[in-house]
Amino acid sequence: MGKAALTIQADTFQFFTRNPRGGAVRTLDTEDMAALVHLQKEAGFVPLVAHAPYTLNACGAESRVREFAREAMHEDLKRLEHLPGNLYNFHPGSHVGQGIARGVELIAELLNELLDGVQSTTVLLETMAGKGSEVGGRFEELRDILGMVRQPEKMGVCFDTCHVHDAGYDIVQDLEGVLSEFDRVIGLDKLKAVHLNDSKNPSGSRRDRHEVIGGGYIGLEGMERIVKHPALSALPFILETPNELSGYAAEINLLRRLAAAE
């Protein structure tokens, strides 16, 4: 993974800790991880992002579902200590009819069981599009989770541009306003990574369908403002656009040019 990132001039990348749609974890290859630690240093990578599987639901209604989330995240966090100091991102969850407040409570409860104060990993809540019963479509929901966690210093937020846009925050016309709202509600110091995706749908659609950079409703000018914004520009940017490796290479190139343009 690290080597593939280098071939397309990336300086970070995201990887799934296991099959994104669930399932068992591969056996731990500590040698592989040691090689990656070395490569990360050598290549001067900014923090890497490990992504928890989508199927994980920290606020499911059934205890069996929450138990899977607990076990998977516990195992992931343990393994990530072989790649110290990086980021672990997860979708807060879907409350499946229990209501946002209960969802928030269950997510915080789980985090309080998992964070031991010793991990070197920062755990990120991803901003969500708010489709279905997803928790995390409003900044306030993420703030409430962070507010209940006993070790908020071990936590941060990953800003997914497609999700924030789809949730109804107008980052195209008013990026400045959205970021000041984020700052007021959560605090920009909590922002640790960006998922840079265009969107197939208009703002407020709550759809969560990623589009290639410049090909969707955020558009190239919107993207330029995002990569140039001083509150974001120093963060790790992760592409989750529908692409093959060559497509990512082209997008990285394009985005670097946009970021550097006057």
Applying CB under 5 A, does 134 fall inside the site for Zn ion?
no
Q: How many residues bind Fe ion (CB under 5 A)?
A: 3
d(CA 13, CA 2): 8
Of 146 and 194, which has the nearer Cβ to Fe ion? 194
Direct distance between the N- and C-terminal alpha carbons of the chain, in angstroms, rounded to an integer = 33
Q: Residue 134 binds what, of Fe ion, Zn ion, none (CB under 5 to 8 Å, by partner type)?
A: none
Q: Residue 208 binds what, of Zn ion, Fe ion, none (CB under 5 to 8 Å, by partner type)?
A: Zn ion
Choosing from 66, 143, 195, 200, the residue that interacts with Fe ion (CB under 5 A) is 195
Choosing from 76, 160, 166, 251, the residue that interacts with Fe ion (CB under 5 A) is 160
Residue nearest to Zn ion (CB): 208
Q: Which helix (H) or strand (E) holds 219?
A: helix 219-228
> Residue 224, exposed/middle/buried by CB under 10 A (0-12, 13-18, 19+)?
middle
Applying CB under 5 A, does 208 fall inside the site for Zn ion?
yes
Backbone angles phi, psi at 137, to 5 degrees: -80, -20
The 8-class DSSP code of residue 190 comes to: G
Of 37 and 47, which has the nearer Cβ to Fe ion? 47
Q: How many C-beta atoms lie closer than 10 Å to residue 108's C-beta?
A: 20
Q: Which stretch binds Zn ion (CB under 5 A): 22-30, 87-95, 105-113, 206-214?
A: 206-214
CB-based contact 17:52 (threshold 8 Å): yes
Residue nearest to Fe ion (CB): 195
Applying CB under 5 A, does 192 fall inside the site for Fe ion?
no
* Chain residues that interact with Zn ion, rule: CB under 5 A: 208
